[in-house]
Structures are given as structure tokens and as C-alpha cells.
Amino acid sequence: MKKLLLILMLVASGLIGYGQKIADLTRATTATKTDLLIIDQSDATKGIAIQHLFAGDSLFLPDLATSDVTVLSPTSTGGTKALATEDINNIVITESGGMAYVSTSGTQTIGTGGTFERINEGAIAYTGSHLHDFTHSDGRLTYTGTNTKHFTVQVSYNIEGDETAQLVQIQLYKDGALISATNDQHDYTAVDTDDTVGFVWLLEIATGEYVEVHGTSDTNGDTFYLHNGSMVISQH
């Protein structure tokens, strides 16, 4: 029993001594190889350092609210700009996009049946809205951003046929080239004179490229009436 008590006393005194050594350790500022992991908050560096002192590895987590950590943000020309620490919480990321909507309804006349024409004749007028890296001109949206991006284009037009038997179609054009797969159409009759046509399409658009909607009817000289609608472009 005396031997057992002696062994327990020696073990306890060793643990006390080892605990005292841990308590005596100063807050580390440089990695030193030991068998300890120390999490240290340092006023000097204004952050938290996690150090695996046995392996010598370390990780520093800065306090962005108080430290002068360099943060870069993209500029409109594709470069980067260093932000001041106090500006970090005020960063607003705006994606590219915009819309053009029909602000004045009117009649479109198709000269040659089956030939697509830009829908902007007569009194038809459009207004641009929420333009970010886009400009607007008469229903056409032109991308002005620096980097080529991927966009979703959503078109919805309300069109009234002017014939008792008439096929009206609309399609999307990118940079003057027809995207035939975007075709949407409606067969108008004497009792079915008004309907909404449209589509959703994904596009890659580069600087200076533009998109617009064209339409056609099935017979030379046909007309149709554009009541309202919009083309919306959003980055994805």
C-alpha cells in the first residue's frame, strides 16, 4: 500500500509540474517546435494565430474590422484596386444586366413574309431600365462590360394579329445574327387575335455585342400590333 501511495504521489507531482510548465508559457509570436497547439490572440498583429508548435505550422486569421489587411477588388478595366480596411464592409457586388420594355405600343409591317425584321416600326418605342454594363437604343441592348460573361435572356411580348389567319414569329438576334432556335410563334385567327409569345435563352456576350428581337409574319405586307412586353438580360 505504501508503494502504491508513493507511486500516486509521484504521478500527481509530475502532472502538477507539467501543468505549471504549460501555465508558464508566454504567448507565442513565432513558431517553436513543441508538442502543443496554441491559439493566440495578439494585440500586436490584431488577429488570432493558431500554431501547431510540434510541427511548426501556423495559421493567422486577421481581424478585418481593425487590421490593415490588403483586400483587392476588380476595377472596370479588369485590373485590381486595394481597398482600405474601413471600406471592406461596404463592398457591393453588382452583376451585369438590364432590360428594355415596350413603352409605346404600335403596329409593325412585314414587307416580305417569312423575313425577320427588327420590331421597331411606326409608333413602337422602348425604354431601357436597370442597365448595368449595358446601354439601350430602340429595343437593342449592348454590352459595355470588359469581360465576356454568360447571360440569361428572357423575352415576353404581347402581340395582336391583324389577319383572320396569320402566323407571327419572333426570334432573338445577337450582334446581327439570327439565333434560330429561339423561335416562338402563334397562329392568329378571327377569334384568337391576341397572345403572348416569348422565350428564355442562355448567351455568352462579349464587349460591344448586342441583342435585339426581330419578328415576321407569313404573308407579304402583313401587320401585327405590339401591345407591350420586355427583354430582360441577367448574368448567370
**pLDDT grade, residue 222 (50/70/90)?**
very high
pLDDT at 149 over 80: yes
Burial of 100 (0-12, 13-18, 19+ CB in 10 A): buried
The beta strands (E) that lie in 75-205 are given as: 80-83, 97-104, 106-109, 117-118, 125-132, 134-137, 140-143, 149-161, 165-174, 177-189, 194-205
Single out the residue of 113, 114, 103 nearest to residue 231, CA to CA.
Answer: 103
Sorted by where each starts, the structural domains of the chain and their CATH numbers stand as: 97-235 (2.60.120.40)
Average pLDDT over residues 199-213: 97
- Give the pLDDT confidence score for residue 37 in this predicted structure: 52
Average pLDDT over residues 27-33: 50
pTM (global) more than 0.75: no
Contacts of 12 (CB under 8 A, 6+ apart): none
Average pLDDT over the chain, rounded to an integer: 80
Single out the residue of 106, 126, 118, 148 nearest to residue 232, CA to CA.
Answer: 126
H-type alpha helices, the chain: 2-24
Grid cell, residue 36, equals 502543443
Contact at 8 Å (CB) between 174 and 142? no
pLDDT at 234 over 70: yes
Q: 199-233 burial string, b = 16+ CB within 10 Å, else e?
A: bebebebeeebbbbbbbbbbeeebbbbbeebbbbb
- Give the pLDDT confidence score for residue 75 in this predicted structure: 63
pLDDT at 194 over 60: yes
Q: Give the percent of the chain with pLDDT over 70.
A: 61
- Give the pLDDT confidence score for residue 163 in this predicted structure: 87
- Give the pLDDT confidence score for residue 3 in this predicted structure: 55
